Structure 1
Amino acid sequence: MLILLIFGIWMLFFDANSWLIHDELDKEIDKLEGNKAYFQKEIQSDRNQITKLENSEELERFAREEYLMKKDGEEIFIIEYEDSLQTKNDE
């Protein structure tokens, strides 16, 4: 009986395939599956954005909004709101 008890304790806590190691690995797998779901959603969002950008009007709109590009002879005014400005206290 003592040998079985020692064997059981060894297998649960000290062996390379112990219950503690399996528990850690299960937690890591759950975390990675959560990351996988997030990144798959982001990939789908990026694919939708790429599909939109195949249209030249959408590409022009994206360039204007994200990179502040403009046509020749055109002026751009950037409007910033007070709550979006960084102050010394925010840094």
Structure 2
Amino acid sequence: MSFLKHKFFKPLKNIFILILVAFAVWMLFFDANSWIIHHELNTDIKDLEDEKEYYKKEIEKDNRAIKKLSTEDGLEKFAREEYYMKRENEEIFIIEYEDSLKTKK
């Protein structure tokens, strides 16, 4: 009991301070609405908002692509570039360079 006589432990003899410390510890760590849970929920909200912004940008990018493909010229360009389609009486030569080829290493 001699360690309780030290001046650092003197405020701990006051019942109000003990109750206040116990209440603060309970609210910070053990309560259903604790600071830890709030922090986790806030990080989840931040992650979801970032994801929402990402998907909004992707939707805008897709809308621009749809607008390009809705025209006759855009559709033809896409078909020629992606599926190597051609018109009648037309020949297509595909030139591939070594550095552009996808090879398994």
* TM-score, scaled relative to structure 1: 0.79
Q: Which has the higher contact order (CA 8 A, sep 6+)?
A: 1
**Which residue in 1 is equivalent to 2:35?**
19
Q: Aligned ranges for residues 1-91 of structure 1 at < 5 Å?
A: 1-89=17-105
* Aligned CA distance change for structure 1 residues 52 and 28 (closer, same or farther; 3 Å): same
CA deviation profile, 1:40-81 (whole Å, cap 9, x unmatched): 111111111111111111111112212333334544333322
Question: Take 1:41 and 1:88, find their aligned partners in 2: how far apart are those partners?
Answer: 32
Count of residues in Structure 1 that have an aligned counterpart in Structure 2:
89
Question: Take 1:30 and 1:65, find their aligned partners in 2: how far apart are those partners?
Answer: 40
Question: Take 1:38 and 1:57, find their aligned partners in 2: how far apart are those partners?
Answer: 29
Larger radius of gyration: 2
RMSD, aligned α-carbons: 1.8
* TM-score, scaled relative to structure 2: 0.71
**Which residue in 1 is equivalent to 2:11?**
none
Shift of 1:88: 4.1
Question: Take 1:31 and 1:58, find their aligned partners in 2: how far apart are those partners?
Answer: 36
Query: What are the ranges of 5 or more consecutive residues in structure 1 without an aligned counterpart?
Result: none
